[in-house]
């Protein structure tokens, strides 16, 4: 309905050597989009057969039938001269030649295809993935490249985007994208090391961040070290073990080898979480004596010894990168892990050893580069700035209730503007007023949190405790200003207060409070339980007394006096601080209370109903009935 | 006086402009949240589908092994075969579960290689069948509706090089 054309989204693409990944900004968050096959990364493989062109998983599946026309690792050739890539050519089964400019090109059926065109095919697939998810055309993208890519390689990657029909808004280095994904752009004058061990390559980069701008200080790496090498180490071990045991060589059996490769990858992944894994491959082969099974146990220690020399190969590039940046390891402020292989505990340990500090790691290290690219896209499209307008509250807001407990009304991280309502009641009979103490913080007890305001609601008509319905509403507007109101639903009397958020806390204070809450979680829990025991005891004694007064005439005298003494016990226990005594007295009273019910049933009458405020018909569905009661003013 | 009037007109124009902008932003936001809701709905369905399919796909590999094991039973003595028959029944129960969930088997041997359905594990040079014909199926393929749950793993025929007229000359 709007006349203006909506500004399109800018997608973020990690165009990898072995796998590619696409992400977008949605609701202020960067998310990875799964492709049509349901996978979050797509193999960077393109194949040609006649007029047919396949990208991703299908291309990979047909690779052995068509090795000369199945192109993978094209990224190794993009923007490079034929003369520079001699050693790379030896590692691929397809033909690489040079064009008139001396650029490396890929030969298929006698025709030359540039690595840019191959890259474009992968980019098209990523673009389509995003379009299928968004339901709209995508024309703009951020693409990441390794930090060591020179101008020619960056330009070629940009061209690949153009061939794919994408307006490449920016080419950004992969380590920069990773740092963005970890939110490190908000820091000042920090040195960051990005350790990226992916499917086929290892990169280490040292960055400097100042005023939101990243500068790559140095890069190093190993262009032929990655997850596949770790898989192969396991496969070789399995082949050796099988040979030792059965005297048979499985390496010639393609299908058996494929099964071993799958099993190796699975074992590798499992060993990141467990100390040992079973590898069972029944009927892996047959000989004259019958079927043969492969059954092995691989421990994490064994796996680490098998791959030790691979992990060792990461050390030297790191040392060189530090040297080139002119920094000692102590000067590095943050270390980031990128790439699936960094999930391996031994790799993480090695990184810690090299840099002498705990690295940052995300849930999905293979997705952080794409996520960072999407964030950069969001910044350029203005999404990110827009989202900042929709702020969240940094700390929980609530009120103090019986026993000095903080009852939260608006949880932290709630997006504002927002409104929350809850019904509370009084703590004693004929209580004339309640004090609403507005608190901010994550601790369980009122006194441990920050009081941001307080007011009284007076002239509550006399009523037994628990009967009045006092609606407390928290309303936070877009500017973060909090309006708290309390209304006695029966008399309609209302009181309110306006609290400016800014009067509150600095960023540092917020951080400290969050940490505080974390540190005291256990202690608070115990204290809260203690308070709950007391509250329960108090309320039970009250209910028991009430029932007793009501039904005294209908109950046998011995039961009445018995219960009366139990109530006295509870009250006596409540005078002290021994919680065990309180809960003991409470549970005894509880048992005896059942006798009232039994006796009443004998009298053909109903057991008394424990009092509970009724729900008002006018209430919105999100209003919950609170079990807690507002602290009595007189009790303070 | 006229100046004041002008200023007032200007002011009210600004207010109208601002109002328009706000309304536009509001509508966009509303649309965006509506779209996000729809997308989430779609994504939820998809993720349920993928979750179920992933579990079903994970069961296929142990089923292959069971199937292989039972095939090897064919040459066993009568006593063992009786046991095998029982296990065969269990296998068919498993397969019933798959069928009930819409999972169907597709056979590949003799058909043309299609990377959307098959994964080539190896090739064999032969003149007897056209290139691309599937010579052997190592692992069976499964579908859910039109969607491939697991590709079949196959051996594919390749025309011997010396007979190939497609050899690149230049």
Q: What is the pLDDT of residue A316?
A: 95
Mutate to test the interface with A, among B66, B115, B139 (most CBs of A within 10 A): B115
Q: Which of A232-236, A273-277, A572-576, B39-43 has the highest mean pLDDT?
A: A232-236
Q: What is the pLDDT of residue A122?
A: 97
Q: What is the pLDDT of residue A173?
A: 93
From the candidates A14, A159, A524, A538, which is the catalytic residue? A14
pLDDT at A632 over 50: no
Tell me, yes or no, if A196 is annotated catalytic.
yes
CB within 8 Å: B27 and A1: yes
Q: Which residues of A417-443 are buried (b: 16+ CB within 10 A; e: fewer)?
A: eeebbbbbbbbeeebeebbbbbbbbbb
- ipTM of this complex prediction, to 2 decimal places: 0.71
Q: What is the pLDDT of residue A603?
A: 67
| Arithmetic mean of pLDDT over chain A | 85
Inter-chain Cβ pairs, chain A and chain B, closer than 8 A: 70
Q: Considering only alpha carbons, which residue of chain A is nearest residue B159? A: A65
Which of A34, A58, A255 is facing B115, going by the closest CB pair? A58
Q: What is the pLDDT of residue A386?
A: 41
Whether residue A487 has a cis bond before it, omega within 30° of 0:
no
CB within 8 Å: B120 and A65: yes
Residues on chain A touching B65 (C-beta within 8 angstroms): 282-283
Which of B50, B72, B116 is facing A291, going by the closest CB pair? B72
Smallest Cα distance from B3 to chain A, Å: 34
pLDDT in tens, A338-350: 999 999 999 999 9
The C-alpha atoms of residue A79 and residue A105 are separated, in whole angstroms, by 10
Neighbours of A97 (CB within 10 A): 12
DSSP chain B: -HHHHHHHHHHHHHHHHHHHHHHHHHHHHHHHHHHHHHHHHHHHHHHHHHHHHHHHHHHHHHHHHHHHHHHHGGGS-HHHHHHHHHHHHHHHHHHHHHHHTTEEEE--TTSBP-TTTEEEEEEEE-SSS-TTBEEEEEE-EEEETTEEEEPEEEEEEE--GGG-TT----
Q: In a 10 Å sphere around its CB, with 0-12 CB exposed, 13-18 middle and 19+ buried, how is residue A508 labelled?
A: exposed
Termini Cα distance of chain B: 89
Tell me, yes or no, if A627 is annotated catalytic.
no
CB within 8 Å: A61 and B170: no
Specify the higher pLDDT residue, A615 or A380.
A380
| Encoded tokens for A260 | 């071993």
CB within 8 Å: B116 and A255: no
Tokens 């005078």, residue? A575
The C-alpha atoms of residue A486 and residue A490 are separated, in whole angstroms, by 12
pLDDT in tens, A299-356: 999 999 999 999 999 999 999 999 999 999 999 999 999 999 999 999 999 999 999 9
From the candidates A116, A159, A185, A196, which is the catalytic residue? A196
Least Cα distance to A181 among A16, A35, A337, A331 occurs for: A337
Which of B28, B39, B69 is facing A283, going by the closest CB pair? B69
Termini Cα distance of chain A: 58
Q: Considering only alpha carbons, which residue of chain B is nearest residue A33? A: B43
Q: Determine if the pTM surpasses 0.90.
A: no
CB within 8 Å: B156 and A64: yes
From the candidates A103, A116, A117, A174, which is the catalytic residue? A174
CB within 8 Å: A282 and B69: yes
Least Cα distance to B98 among B151, B153, B57, B48 occurs for: B57
B141: contact with A, CB 8 A cutoff: no
Q: Which of A363-372, A382-391, A568-577, A614-623 has the highest mean pLDDT?
A: A363-372
In A505-559 the beta strands, taken as DSSP E runs, fall at: none
In A446-526 the beta strands, taken as DSSP E runs, fall at: 450-457, 470-476, 482-488, 494-499
- pLDDT tier at A634, thresholds 50, 70, 90: very low
pLDDT at A100 over 70: yes
From the candidates A60, A69, A75, A350, which is the catalytic residue? A75
B24: contact with A, CB 8 A cutoff: yes
B118: contact with A, CB 8 A cutoff: yes
Percent of chain A beyond pLDDT 90? 48
Tens-of-pLDDT digits for all 170 residues of chain B? 577 888 888 888 889 988 988 888 888 788 778 878 887 888 888 888 888 888 888 899 899 888 888 887 777 788 888 888 888 899 999 999 999 888 999 999 999 999 999 999 999 999 889 999 999 999 999 999 888 999 999 999 998 876 444 444 33
Q: Considering only alpha carbons, which residue of chain B is nearest residue A262? A: B61
Residues on chain A touching B132 (C-beta within 8 angstroms): 65
CB within 8 Å: A65 and B123: yes
Among the ranges given (A46-55, A104-113, A624-633), the one the predictor scored with the smallest mean pLDDT: A624-633
CB within 8 Å: A255 and B151: no
Q: Considering only alpha carbons, which residue of chain B is nearest residue A255? A: B121
pLDDT at A54 over 80: yes
Tell me, yes or no, if A174 is annotated catalytic.
yes
pLDDT at A609 over 80: no
Q: What is the pLDDT of residue A507?
A: 67
Q: What is the pLDDT of residue A318?
A: 96
CB within 8 Å: A64 and B113: no
Q: What is the pLDDT of residue A383?
A: 58
CB within 8 Å: B132 and A64: no
Residues on chain A touching B155 (C-beta within 8 angstroms): 254-255
Q: Considering only alpha carbons, which residue of chain B is nearest residue A134? A: B39
The C-alpha atoms of residue A38 and residue B148 are separated, in whole angstroms, by 12
pLDDT at A629 over 50: no
Collect all residues from A whose CB is shorter than 8 A from any CB in B: 1-2, 4, 6, 26-27, 34, 38, 47, 54, 58-59, 61-65, 109-110, 133-135, 254-255, 258, 282-283, 286, 290-291
- The mean per-residue pLDDT over the stretch A359-364 comes to 84
pLDDT at A635 over 60: no
């Amino acid at each position: 309905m709007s006349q203006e054309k909506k500004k399109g989204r800018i997608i973020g693409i990690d165009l990898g050597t072995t796998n590619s990944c696409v992400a977008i900004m949605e609701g202020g968050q960067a998310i990875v989009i799964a492709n049509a096959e349901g996978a979050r990364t797509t193999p960077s493989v393109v194949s040609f057969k006649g007029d047919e062109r396949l990208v991703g998983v299908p291309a990979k599946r047909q690779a052995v039938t068509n090795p000369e026309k199945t192109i993978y690792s094209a990224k190794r050739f993009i923007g490079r001269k034929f003369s520079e890539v001699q050693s790379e050519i030896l590692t691929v089964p397809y033909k690489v030649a040079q064009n008139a400019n001396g650029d490396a090109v890929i030969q298929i059926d006698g025709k030359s295809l540039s690595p840019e065109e191959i890259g474009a095919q992968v980019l098209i697939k990523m673009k389509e993935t995003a379009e299928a998810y968004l339901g709209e055309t995508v024309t703009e993208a951020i693409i990441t490249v390794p930090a060591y890519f020179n101008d020619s390689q960056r330009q070629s990657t940009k061209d690949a985007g153009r061939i794919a029909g994408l307006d490449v808004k920016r080419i950004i280095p992969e380590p920069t994208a990773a740092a963005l994904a970890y939110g490190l752009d908000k820091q000042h004058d920090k040195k960051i090391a990005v350790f990226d061990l992916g499917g086929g390559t290892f990169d280490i980069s040292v960055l400097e961040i100042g005023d939101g701008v990243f500068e790559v200080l140095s890069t190093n790496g190993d262009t032929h070290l990655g997850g596949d090498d770790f898989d192969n180490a396991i496969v070789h071990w399995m082949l050796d073990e099988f040979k030792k045991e059965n005297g048979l060589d499985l390496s010639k059996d393609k299908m058996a080898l494929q099964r071993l490769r799958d099993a190796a990858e699975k074992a590798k992944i499992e060993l990141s979480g467990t100390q040992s894994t079973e590898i069972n491959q029944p009927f892996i082969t047959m000989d004259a004596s019958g079927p043969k099974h492969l059954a092995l146990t691989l421990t994490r220690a064994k796996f680490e010894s098998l791959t030790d020399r691979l992990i060792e190969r990461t050390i030297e590039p790191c040392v060189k990168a530090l040297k080139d940046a002119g920094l000692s390891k102590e000067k590095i402020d943050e270390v980031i892990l990128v790439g699936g292989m960094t999930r391996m505990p031994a790799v993480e340990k090695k990184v810690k050893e090299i840099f002498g500090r705990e690295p940052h790691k995300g849930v999905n290290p293979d997705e952080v580069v794409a996520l960072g690219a999407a964030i950069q896209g969001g910044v350029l499209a203005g999404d990110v700035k827009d989202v900042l307008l929709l702020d969240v509250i940094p700390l929980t807001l609530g009120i103090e209730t019986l026993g000095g407990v903080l009852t939260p009304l608006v949880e932290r991280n709630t997006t504002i503007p927002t409104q929350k309502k809850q019904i509370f009641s009084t703590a004693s009979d004929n209580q004339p007023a309640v004090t609403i103490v507005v608190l901010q913080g994550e601790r369980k007890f009122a006194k441990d949190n920050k009081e941001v305001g307080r007011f009284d609601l007076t002239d509550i008509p006399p009523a037994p405790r628990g009967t009045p319905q006092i609606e407390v509403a928290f309303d936070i507007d877009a500017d973060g200003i909090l309006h708290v109101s309390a209304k006695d639903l029966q008399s309609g009397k209302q009181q309110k207060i306006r609290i400016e958020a800014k009067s509150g806390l600095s960023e540092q204070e917020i951080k400290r409070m969050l940490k505080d809450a974390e540190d005291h979680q256990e202690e608070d829990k115990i204290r809260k339980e203690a308070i709950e025991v007391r509250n329960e005891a108090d309320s039970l004694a009250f209910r028991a007394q009430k029932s007793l007064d009501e039904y005294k005439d209908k109950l046998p005298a011995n039961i009445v006096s018995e219960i009366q003494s139990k109530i006295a016990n509870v009250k006596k226990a409540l005078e002290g601080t021994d919680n065990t005594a309180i809960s003991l007295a409470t549970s005894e009273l509880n048992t005896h209370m059942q006798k009232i019910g039994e006796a009443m049933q004998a009298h053909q009458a109903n057991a008394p109903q424990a009092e509970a405020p009724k729900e008002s018909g006018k209430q919105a569905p999100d209003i919950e009935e609170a079990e807690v009661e507002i602290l009595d003013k007189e009790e303070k | 006086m006229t100046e004041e009037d002008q200023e007032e007109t200007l002011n009210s124009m600004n207010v109208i402009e601002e109002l328009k902008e706000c309304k536009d932003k509001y509508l966009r936001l509303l649309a965006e949240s509506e779209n996000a809701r729809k997308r989430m709905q779609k994504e939820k369905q998809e993720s349920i589908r993928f979750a179920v399919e992933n579990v079903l796909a994970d069961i296929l590999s142990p089923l292959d092994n069971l199937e292989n094991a039972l095939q090897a039973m064919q040459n066993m003595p009568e006593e063992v075969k009786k046991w095998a028959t029982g296990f065969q029944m269990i296998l068919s129960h498993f397969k019933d579960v798959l069928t009930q969930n819409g999972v169907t088997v597709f056979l590949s041997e003799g058909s043309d290689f299609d990377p959307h359905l098959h994964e080539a594990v190896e090739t064999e040079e032969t003149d007897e069948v056209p290139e691309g014909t599937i010579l052997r199926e190592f692992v069976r393929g499964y579908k859910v509706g039109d969607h491939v749950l697991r590709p079949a793993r196959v051996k594919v025929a390749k025309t011997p090089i010396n007979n190939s007229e497609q050899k690149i000359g230049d």
